[in-house]
Amino acid sequence: MQVKAIQIEEVTIFLVDGEINISTSPDLRKLFEKQAAKKVVVNLEKVIYIDSSGLATLVEMLKKMKSQGGSLGLSGMSEKVKSLFEITKLDKLFSISQSQDEAVTRVK
């Protein structure tokens, strides 16, 4: 898994590429813990696999952002990844957008 961070105005975007699994999610968690932006989008367009540890990592990130008065959006997930959010009802918890641009607008 590789993660690249870019900035669009006041929004930090994490572009995640690869698998978010039990082996890679600790790295993502560390990255999220270090970041201090108030408005964040995680672009999952290139995420080909995510397991329960990956979902838990995103939930932790959301809780952290909310407790700090920030906002977090997810974008670009495949139909398969999105179905896991629906099965676990996490689609009700997260702001999920089809495109990165839409997600950026929603977290502003």
Which chain residues interact with other proteins by CB under 8 A?
21-23, 49, 51-53, 55-56, 59-60, 63, 80, 84, 87-90, 92-93
CA distance readout (Å), 32 to 9, 36, 72:
19, 8, 11
Query: Least separation, in Å, of the C-beta of 59 and other proteins?
Result: 6
Any long-range contacts for 25-28 (C-beta under 8 Å, 24+ apart)? Answer: 25/51, 25/53, 25/54, 25/56, 25/57, 27/1, 27/3, 28/1, 28/3, 28/54, 28/57
Nearer to other proteins, 23 or 105 (CB): 23
Nearer to other proteins, 13 or 62 (CB): 62
Nearer to other proteins, 94 or 102 (CB): 94
Tokens for 22, please give them: 């039990």
Query: Least separation, in Å, of the C-beta of 41 and other proteins?
Result: 20
Query: Least separation, in Å, of the C-beta of 19 and other proteins?
Result: 9
Query: Least separation, in Å, of the C-beta of 43 and other proteins?
Result: 20
d(CA 100, CA 46): 12
Nearer to other proteins, 37 or 55 (CB): 55
